[in-house]
Structure 1
């Protein structure tokens, strides 16, 4: 998107359900339908409904947001009929960041669905994403990544330690210790290493992101 002195986004079909608000990000002013930003965000609903004293409509400055991040989020909301799967990963990373910051639950699930589709992220990115406390239930979607990391001969690199964080590193160490013990076990019927990973990271959820493994979706 080009950055004009005042950039307009409109969703006229909603009629009385929405009103135009002016938001400022990095000095750029955007006119946006309030419904787009407020429908899934209690944070922004509170922001836009604060009492305002003064002539005309207020301008709202949004902190800790870049123009690129906001425009990626608006692009998704205003182009719901387009093929979102062709959007670059940065679009979904930015979308997820703002969804987290503004507590947009449905937007967060939407971004995760796109990011966690098979083949979108590499093993390190998947594990780093799923290390978050609020995404522990989605670890199964990084299953192949954990198998790759935990069954290889090479130890974790310093860069991987930093990217994964302590919680994910401890989980990886636990899985690797289980795999090593299994390889040295004298039991005739040993579990598969894939099953060891599954037992540690948890089985898939009954709902939610499990549907993204279907290539037809």
Structure 2
């Protein structure tokens, strides 16, 4: 019977750490405090872990499944980022953190990821798809909805990604905006001709947003 080799993580195996965590053949030694303070999921898992997997030693490392070493590194980076250079990280970095924070119930970390995603430049369709996937506050999507309303058309692929409910609501908002522009005296109006303030109110009503 072969012996599985276990590697200590070169950065996140901390000698003053208090819990060993096994991820895909790599052992991390980190501070249990962060996990117990931030995550209901980990608090419960630690409480129910038996002596063979309680994380007290590398041999009894607490095991995490369905996560890559590179992904877990990104979550740990939130706690061990000495200079707090959050704004320098790309979108995929924050999407990984959002995904793990959602899955493992880190509400504070999830909020941080959302704030950082809000600062990043994204295409409106991409932002809507991501925010819907993680059930984020739809009020945050108001600027993206406005851009979609003002677009003269969208591709079939974008429509599929957005999903029928969102497409129908955007079309409804476009019709209201076009009607408003016509009532204001615009000849051959489009939804892009409606004033931004009115378009905001239309979208809030159509999507049921509080903003």
TM-score normalised over the length of structure 1: 0.74
SS at match of 1:29: strand
1:132-173: CA deviation from partner (whole Å, max 9, x where unpaired): 57423x42x33332222111211x323212322334323322
Partner of 2:30: 32
Change (3 A) 1:97 1:54: closer
Partner of 1:200: 203
- 1:81, distance to aligned residue in structure 2 (A): 2.9
Partner of 2:83: 81
Partner of 1:46: 44
Partner of 1:15: none
Retained in 1: the 8 A contact 2:177–2:194? no
For structure 1, the residue ranges without an aligned partner over 5 or more in a row are 13-18, 205-217
Consecutive aligned runs of 4 or more in structure 1 exceeding 6 Å deviation: none
SS at match of 1:52: coil
1:18-29 matched pairs, under 5 angstroms: 20-29=18-27
- 1:177, distance to aligned residue in structure 2 (A): 2.2
1:182-197 matched pairs, under 5 angstroms: 182-183=180-181, 185-186=182-183, 192-197=195-200
Partner of 2:144: 145
Of 163, 166, 169 in structure 1, the residue corresponding to residue 167 of structure 2 is 169
Partner of 1:131: 132
Distance 1:67 1:166 in 2: 36
Distance 2:61 2:134 in 1: 35
Greater RCO, 1 or 2 (C-alpha within 8 Å, sep 6+): 1
Aligned residues: 190
Retained in 1: the 8 A contact 2:20–2:29? yes
1:106-125 matched pairs, under 5 angstroms: 106-117=108-119, 119-125=120-126
- 1:187, distance to aligned residue in structure 2 (A): 5.1
Distance 1:175 1:133 in 2: 24
Retained in 1: the 8 A contact 2:94–2:117? yes
TM-score normalised over the length of structure 2: 0.76
1:55-70 matched pairs, under 5 angstroms: 57=57, 58-70=60-72
